[in-house]
Amino acid sequence: MSSDDTWSIGELAERAGTTVKTVRFYSDRGLLPEARRSTGGHRRYGPEALDRLRLIRSLRTLDLPVPDVGRVLGREDAPDGAADGVLDGVLEDVIAERLREIGSRMAALRWREAALQLLRDCPAGERADRLLLIGSISTPPSTASLVRFWRAWIPRRLPARLASAIVDQAVPPPPEDPTPAQVLAFARLHAFVSGDCNGADNRPAVHRPEEGYRPAVLYDGLIEAYALASAELRAGSPARPGEALDCFVSAYAHSRGTPDTPAFRRLLGGQLAADPRIDHYWGLVAELISPPSGPPEPTAGSAHAWLSAALDADTAREAA
State pLDDT tens for residues 261-280. Answer: 999 999 999 888 778 888 99
Position 318 confidence tier, pLDDT thresholds 50, 70, 90:
confident
Check residue 39 and give its pLDDT.
73
The percentage of residues in the chain with a pLDDT greater than 90, rounded to a whole number, is 62
Ranking 18-32, 75-89, 128-142 by mean pLDDT, the lowest is: 75-89
Which amino acid does the sequence have at 245? L
- Helix, strand, coil: what percent of the chain each, to 5? 65, 0, 30
User: Rounded distance, CA 269 to CA 314, Å?
Assistant: 10
**Mean pLDDT on 42-58:** 90
Residue 209: its pLDDT value, please?
52
| Under 8 Å between Cβ of 285 and 301 | yes
Weakest-pLDDT range from 81-90, 253-262, 267-276, 305-314: 81-90
pLDDT in tens, 166-207: 999 999 999 989 999 999 999 999 999 997 654 445 555 555
The tens digit of pLDDT for each residue in 217-226 reads 999 999 999 9
Quickly state the pLDDT bin for 82 (edges 50, 70, 90).
very low
Report d(CA 240, CA 307) in Å as an integer: 8
Return d(Cα 138, Cα 183) in angstroms, integer: 11
Do 24 and 7 meet the contact criterion of CB atoms below 8 Å apart? no
pLDDT at site 122: 93
Rounded average pLDDT over 81-102: 74
In the prediction, which pLDDT does 198 show?
47
Most confident of 76-80, 146-150, 207-211: 146-150
Phi, psi of 6 (to 5 degrees): -125, 160
Neighbours of 92 (CB within 10 A): 10
CB atoms within 10 A of CB 69: 21
pLDDT band of 133, cuts 50, 70, 90: very high
Closest to 11 (Cα-Cα) out of 38, 59, 54, 43: 43
Cα separations in angstroms, 46 against 1, 18, 75, 303: 9, 17, 20, 71
Is residue 35 predicted with pLDDT exceeding 50? yes
pLDDT in the model for residue 91? 84
Give the mean pLDDT of the chain.
87
Q: Show the CA angle centred on residue 71, arms to residues 68 and 74, nearest 5°.
A: 150
pLDDT for the residue numbered 202: 55
Determine the pLDDT at residue 81.
45
**CA 15/CA 144 separation, integer angstroms:** 53
Q: Phi/psi at 7 (nearest 5 deg)?
A: -115, 155
Q: What is the pLDDT of residues 13-23, one digit of tens each?
A: 999 999 999 99
Confidence of residue 87 (pLDDT cuts 50, 70, 90): low
Most confident of 97-106, 178-187, 208-217, 292-301: 178-187
pLDDT band at 287 (very low <50, low <70, confident <90, very high): very high
Low-confidence winner among 80-84, 138-142, 182-186, 291-295 (lowest mean pLDDT) = 80-84
| The residue type at 138 | S
Residue 85: pLDDT above 90?
no
Q: Residues 145-160: pLDDT tens digits?
A: 999 999 988 888 899 9
- Residues 253 and 255: their CA atoms lie apart, in Å, by 5
